[in-house]
Amino acid sequence: MLRQLPNLITVARIVLVVPLAWLILQQRYGEALAVLVVAALSDAIDGFLAKQFGWQSWIGGMLDPIADKLMLMASFVALGLAGALPAWLPVLVIGRDVVIVAGALAYHRLIGRFDAAPTVLSKLTTLVQIAFVVLELVRLAGLTAVPGALRDGALLAVVVLTVASGADYVLTWGRRAWLARRGRR
């Protein structure tokens, strides 16, 4: 039973997506930040438990990145709908993930099994996106003054890394698909 504890924590993190998005839409940014902190702590705890006690599972390996993506997508969409972000930014962030998933599905259907571990660039992109959401919530909650240059730099980093990591996936897996198809002839 305890072996499932990391998975249950991950499911709880997925459930937190709803109150996070609702709080952002209600412009209750301090409370949204608190939910995001709880989600981050739960992510650290479930990862620790899974590794420390050997409680990793296939479902946990699938649910954990899904929970992270749902949290990020909900945050960007809600911040965009609340008017805190330009509308094109959530479209860019979600568009990248849609392109990656669509490419993975196409590869799996046309070529074969798609086993892609996240790249360093993809992990960095996720980290910067999370940091940007935290920075925005801190700024919007009025917890501290966030210099415009810092926000602009963080926004630029999100845009550059999101585009670069999306392009990296497309080029890498496009090349693999081309080589696999070429090898079949």
Task: State which fold the 2-184 domain adopts.
Answer: Four Helix Bundle (Hemerythrin (Met), subunit A) (1.20.120)
Q: How far apart are CA 48 and CA 90, in angstroms?
A: 31
pTM: 0.89
Got the DSSP string for 9-55? Answer: HHHHHHHTHHHHHHHHHTT-HHHHHHHHHHHHHHHHHHHHHHHHTT-
Q: Which residue has the tokens 């479902």?
A: 59
Please list the ranges in the chain whose pLDDT falls under 70: 116, 184-185
Q: For residue 116, what pLDDT is reported?
A: 67
**How confident is the model over 34-58, as pLDDT tens digits?**
999 999 999 999 989 999 998 988 8
